[in-house]
Amino acid sequence: MVAAGNGEGVVSVARRVVQVERAFLTQAVGFMLGRGIRQFLDLGCGKPGVGSPHDMGRLTGPAVRVIHVDYDAEVIERARRVIAGTEHRYLVCRNVTDVSGLIETCQAAGMLDARRPTGVVAVGLLHLIPDANELLSRYSAELPRDSVFAASHLTRCFKDDDSGAAAKLIGGPVYPRQRQEIAEMFDGLALVKPGIVALPHEWGTPAKSIAGAPVLAGIAVKQ
Ligand SMILES: C[S@@+](CC[C@H](N)C(=O)[O-])C[C@H]1O[C@@H](n2cnc3c(N)ncnc32)[C@H](O)[C@@H]1O
């Protein structure tokens, strides 16, 4: 197994992973808003924290709908306290691999209009799912043209003796994938240039000056 940080401590690498992912989230949401996206599906929202997806209300403005999804009931409960009283913010406790079930539930509850372009955000999620290879394609099949997909993904394992600590910090056992596999997750979608990139990266918005981490990411549009 390859160490994530050339001997660097797991806590420090995991912190950088979160930092670059947070910056990516801000860029991806900005890109989506710029394309007129006004409803977002935040897959694997995680526990609320500084700059976490629960802050998306600040990025998107109040008129935009955001549905945060996580299968961990405790995560959802914590998030509920953070977004309580905020309009157009929804929480759904569900496994994101149940794509049709999730979309149907959100539609039936009036949270999502699946005929309208949607921003699908999967930051720090796909490397936690063993069979995630076709997940973005399955969401794309349920959503209309001009929907936008943003995902980040770990590319390297932590050392065996660090993997427990890494799992705790990153949110579960990690399934790192190589660039080609990550690129294939966007099959059928038009990747925004320059395609799959190492984070941090600039997509129009200047990237914060933070050190790199073993994370690749892409933003893609359904055409
Ligand atoms: C690293 S954490 C939070 C990432 C968050 N998007 C962020 O940017 O801070 C990943 C979250 O994904 C959730 N998760 C993992 N697999 C999932 C699945 N199959 N369905 C729903 N949630 C999942 C975990 O419970 C965890 O809260």
Ligand 1 neighbourhood includes 26 CB (under 6 angstroms): no
Any domain includes 1? no
Atom nearest to 46 CA in ligand 1: 27
Question: Mean pLDDT across the stretch 193-202?
Answer: 90
The rounded Å distance from CA 125 to ligand 1 centre is: 5
What integer best gives the mean pLDDT of the chain? 87
- Cβ neighbors of 141 (< 8 A, separation 6 or more) are none
Any domain includes 134? yes
Q: In terms of pLDDT, which residue wins out, 79 or 85?
A: 79
Atom nearest to 122 CA in ligand 1: 6
Query: What confidence tier does 14 reach under pLDDT thresholds 50, 70, 90?
Result: confident
pLDDT of res. 83: 86
The dihedral through the CA atoms of 192, 135, 122, 10 has a sign that is negative
The rounded Å distance from CA 58 to ligand 1 centre is: 20
pLDDT of res. 47: 83
Question: Mean pLDDT across the stretch 166-176?
Answer: 76
Q: In a 3-state reduction of DSSP, which class is residue 7?
A: coil
Any domain includes 88? yes
Ligand 1 neighbourhood includes 102 CB (under 6 angstroms): no
User: Residue 160 belongs to what domain range?
Assistant: 10-221
Q: What residue owns the CA closest to ligand 1's atom 3?
A: 46
Q: Which residues in 13-35 are b (16+ Cβ under 10 Å) and which e?
A: bbebbbbbbbbbbbbbbebbbee
Any domain includes 196? yes
State the CATH number of the domain containing residue 104: 3.40.50.150
- Cβ neighbors of 151 (< 8 A, separation 6 or more) are 121, 122, 123, 125, 126, 136, 182, 185, 186, 217, 218
Number of domains into which the chain is organized: 1
**Contact assessment for residue 170 and residue 14, using Cβ atoms and an 8 Å cutoff:** yes
Any domain includes 195? yes
Any domain includes 2? no
Residue located via tokens 């930092």: 19
Ligand 1 mutation pick, 16, 21, 45, 75, max ligand atoms within 8 A of CB? 45
Q: In terms of pLDDT, which residue wins out, 6 or 98?
A: 98
Atom nearest to 75 CA in ligand 1: 27
Output the pTM of the full model. 0.91
Query: What confidence tier does 214 reach under pLDDT thresholds 50, 70, 90?
Result: confident
Ligand 1 neighbourhood includes 44 CB (under 6 angstroms): yes
Q: What residue owns the CA closest to ligand 1's atom 20?
A: 95
Q: What residue owns the CA closest to ligand 1's atom 18?
A: 95
Any domain includes 15? yes
Q: What residue owns the CA closest to ligand 1's atom 9?
A: 52
126-139 pLDDT, tens digit each? 999 999 999 999 99
pLDDT of res. 53: 72
Identity at 184, one-letter amino acid code: E
Q: Is 88 a residue whose pLDDT tops 80?
A: yes
User: Which of 51-65, 143-157, 208-222 has the largest mean confidence?
Assistant: 143-157
Q: Give the separation between CA 129 and CA 67, rounded to whole angstroms.
A: 20
Query: What confidence tier does 158 reach under pLDDT thresholds 50, 70, 90?
Result: low
**Contact assessment for residue 46 and residue 124, using Cβ atoms and an 8 Å cutoff:** yes
Any domain includes 4? no
Ligand 1 neighbourhood includes 29 CB (under 6 angstroms): no
Q: Are strands 39-43 and 65-70 parallel, antiparallel or unpaired?
A: parallel
The rounded Å distance from CA 127 to ligand 1 centre is: 10
Ligand 1 neighbourhood includes 52 CB (under 6 angstroms): yes
